[in-house]
Structure 1
């Protein structure tokens, strides 16, 4: 083993992008922590496979307890809790959660429409800021690509999806004889951190019996703080909600919470019941309470599964609500500091107002109008920062603008690291701008 580990140090580590660095500001950081590592070691070391109740009763029970804890912490409506007839499951990723909910929505709709041949009429709706996972998931469950509607957003709505835009698209499709199936509302989009108008979208979806999924993969963690829970207003109108503790909740990859208001919709689409997997002595009282035996294989794509619940349980026990709120607020405060510095520097501009811990900015066009040169300057600036090895960020493009993203969220990231990256940006900006200076500006 010592030779293998030496090879890892020599050959593997130099070629990695170090996601746990406090100077990692790209994508949305995948948090690791000492408690998360301890939970991961327990999960891996015990190596149980809680796909049916009898396979590991305590593991299945712990999962149902943990997802209810999480729902309460985030202020989710009671309808997503087990004791109220809903329930939750720990998936590996949002992509898995999306495929499962799309399958549930599909089968529920096809049951009403009288057969699988009606699948060609089903339509899925999302915005141009929605994660591409939803387009991939729609294809995987058999929705024709031509029936996926990408609805434009604008700066006027903060790049959030509006009910008016959805209504126009849905009414047009209904006029063509199509069937609205599924609508995604996002709190904290990947590119810009935008927030959709959840309540308005939920009310619009109810007109046509659409399944509403609330995707809070990144920003859902912020809802542990009461001052951020307003972003989830209208969640009671959703059929499902998902968020990823492995993004901003100190939980090692992989862990995605998925809650559904009606578990039977999910299990009807995903369940299998071969004789060799039947539980012995399982009992479901059917009274809308948490069942005595939960077969989580029927809540996900694969049959087998990891013991993720113990990892999240250790996180919650170790840091508690107060500790997690402090973790979130530290990052939000650092992002706010960075946003203020960007706004105060006449060379830069904040592209969209910051809501959580993601700041989207760029070098502003000197000529007062956007052109290709402005995008080239910002591309060069991002490349120079990343090439320095002192920070790592990514970009997004909105309305033709090349935008630099600084996502604060690393487990060890402090204000000091954000201050250092601002100093780095200022220096690199001065170097890059020297190459583009012309008598009349850019």
Structure 2
């Protein structure tokens, strides 16, 4: 492909992209395929000779598109969103074209300095104290792993990095029983061992109980264990529960335990001053993460990771072979030392485009709209005689179930709601997901898509009611 062909093909793709954004809500949200359907259409060997772009794009449309779940559809209301937006997509096109490797200041000075400034903009926008400094990581899972590794090195005075874990000492990590599964994965990767993750009891709102946390810490101290880190969550994956950060932070301060705050999804709501009650006590945290690639309309991947002790972060990850040394090292930030990978994409560009295109007010208006839509739907669910809420709705995720008033058997209710969710998915008109809260099969609906409108929510609620009624007709 030469430059003229590239130009022609690129124009064709941009037209297709614009059409896709216009038409995506008309696509079946979930594809009607079985495992292996796509694979069987793909050749077993790579082509020996070059194939035309026309053939490649045709195969994309005829083989790949029919097997895609459409996350950018406003009818996708499952999990948490992985949003995009026009400015973010345009920035990604530039990032891909530049193909820059942004591991150090020297390799891309503009990328480094833009990231530094954009993370400062974002810190101010969500109300984090000035003591926090940020860097962009790939995901909240990676950010939390960075935090746990920082905690590990802090409590061992960097001896694990040098010589491995000390014999005879066991380190404990604490989180709530509702915390995201990535915490358990990170504990394994960091070498603490899954058995040393203590899952703390939650209250009736599914938030961590501080008294239970302190009790677990004291018990571990009495038994000769070393309390090392606590992961508090602002917006759990199951129900968007808000852990009481101030009380947890005070406990961590008393026992000198590293505190990491996982606000992967709900952190975007901190753009709204009225929602900053969720972050009360954040000054007691050692690190904090939220994902603009979830609810802030920025393409995956873009995770905003902040720490109070920049030197601790850098010392945990810094490696300085001769081939990476540069004359500017003492005067600049080299973000390769701020996380796990050496290589880094130019992720700050899309965040810059999004912040400038929406403006803080535009972002705030979107978030307020989503929360308002969720609160309105919550009221409708509460008022319906055959549906019930199963968790509080502090933001825009609703946990509910279908509960005909003549069925009290929990097992039957679980089966009924699983059937309802399967019918919703199979319809292709709406995509929801589930969790279990106190053993109850719980349907989740999350209203956070970039282009979500009230009509989409109304149509979703109507479909849910009609399918539920058909199950008991």
- 2:228 aligns with 181
8 Å CA contact 1:120–1:143 kept in 2: the answer is: no
Residue number among 310, 320, 324 corresponding to 2:359 in the alignment? 320
- 1:110-143, Cα deviation, whole Å (9 max, x unpaired): 1188973158411000011100111111111110
Equivalent positions of 1:66-215 (< 5 A) are: 66-80=118-132, 87-111=133-157, 116-117=165-166, 120-155=169-204, 158-215=205-262
- 1:377-408, Cα deviation, whole Å (9 max, x unpaired): 11111111111111000001011100000011
Query: Does residue 26 of structure 1 match 2:72?
Result: no
- 1:4-52, Cα deviation, whole Å (9 max, x unpaired): 1110110001111100001000000111100110111121111111111
Query: Does residue 413 of structure 1 match 2:452?
Result: yes
Q: Partners of 1:333 and 1:51 in 2: how far apart? A: 41
1:413 Cα deviation (Å)? 1.1
Pair 433,368 (structure 1): closer, same or farther in 2 beyond 3 Å? closer
Gaps in structure 2 of 5+ consecutive residues: 1-52
2:390 match: secondary structure: strand
- 1:348 aligns with 387
Query: Does residue 253 of structure 1 match 2:300?
Result: yes
Q: Partners of 1:266 and 1:132 in 2: how far apart? A: 24
1:78 Cα deviation (Å)? 1.4
Query: Does residue 235 of structure 1 match 2:282?
Result: yes
Residue number among 424, 430, 440 corresponding to 2:469 in the alignment? 430
- 1:307 aligns with 346
1:359 match: secondary structure: strand
1:250 match: secondary structure: coil
Pair 119,422 (structure 1): closer, same or farther in 2 beyond 3 Å? farther
Gaps in structure 1 of 5+ consecutive residues: 81-86, 284-291, 435-442
1:207 match: secondary structure: helix
- 1:329-387, Cα deviation, whole Å (9 max, x unpaired): 11111111111110110100011120111011001253574520010111111111111
8 Å CA contact 1:92–1:255 kept in 2: the answer is: yes
Query: Does residue 38 of structure 1 match 2:90?
Result: yes
* TM-score between both structures, scaled by the size of structure 2: 0.86
Pair 150,365 (structure 1): closer, same or farther in 2 beyond 3 Å? farther
8 Å CA contact 2:385–2:404 kept in 1: the answer is: no
1:281 Cα deviation (Å)? 3.2
- 1:60-90, Cα deviation, whole Å (9 max, x unpaired): 111111111101000011110xxxxxx1110
Pair 147,365 (structure 1): closer, same or farther in 2 beyond 3 Å? farther
CA RMSD of aligned residues (A): 1.4
1:282 Cα deviation (Å)? 3.2
Q: Partners of 2:263 and 2:219 in 1: how far apart? A: 28
* TM-score between both structures, scaled by the size of structure 1: 0.92
Equivalent positions of 1:319-398 (< 5 A) are: 319-364=358-403, 366-367=405-406, 369-398=408-437
- 1:265 aligns with 312
8 Å CA contact 2:268–2:296 kept in 1: the answer is: yes
8 Å CA contact 1:53–1:279 kept in 2: the answer is: no
1:258 match: secondary structure: strand
- Determine which structure has greater relative contact order: mean sequence separation of CA pairs < 8 Å that are 6+ residues apart, divided by chain length: 1
Which segment is superposed worse, 360-369 or 315-324? 360-369
Pair 431,234 (structure 1): closer, same or farther in 2 beyond 3 Å? same
- 2:47 aligns with none
Q: Partners of 2:406 and 2:258 in 1: how far apart? A: 47
Q: Partners of 2:158 and 2:281 in 1: how far apart? A: 26
8 Å CA contact 2:143–2:289 kept in 1: the answer is: yes
1:214 match: secondary structure: strand
Q: Partners of 1:281 and 1:119 in 2: how far apart? A: 43
1:117 match: secondary structure: coil
Q: Partners of 2:384 and 2:264 in 1: how far apart? A: 32
8 Å CA contact 1:51–1:295 kept in 2: the answer is: yes
